[in-house]
């Protein structure tokens, strides 16, 4: 709700909101993917 209220296409801080979003999502998803990849490799060479 807060995001919708604060972020607007014309607000100067909107790219900053996107940047934080990209960073947060990127870290969480990529971390999950790479840990899963490492785990799969671990299982393969065990």
Partner 1 sequence: MWPDFLAGWIRLRTQWRGFELPLLASPLLPAAFIGTLAGEQRIVVGCLLGFGASLLAARRLRRGRLGDARFAAWIMAVGTGLAGFMGAGLGLFALVLAAGAFFGTRHLFAALPEHLPPPPSPPPPPAAIVQARARLARVMAVADARGDARLRIAASAVQDAVEELAGRPDRLAAVQPFLSMQVDGLERIAARLANGATPPPELTPLLDGFTTAARTLHERIRRDESAALALHVQHLTERLRAAGY
User: Where does this chain bind partner 1 (CB under 8 A)?
Assistant: 3-4, 7-12, 14-15, 17-18, 20-37, 39-41, 43-44, 46
Is 7 within 8 Å of 17 (Cβ atoms)? yes
CA atoms within 13 A on the CB side of 41: 6
CB of 8 to partner 1, least distance (A): 6
CB of 7 to partner 1, least distance (A): 4
CB of 38 to partner 1, least distance (A): 8
Is 14 within 8 Å of 8 (Cβ atoms)? yes
């Amino acid at each position: 709700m807060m995001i919708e209220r604060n972020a607007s296409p014309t607000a100067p801080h909107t790219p900053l909101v996107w940047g934080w979003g990209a960073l947060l999502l990127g870290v969480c998803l990529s971390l999950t993917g790479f840990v899963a990849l490492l785990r799969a490799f671990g299982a393969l060479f065990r």
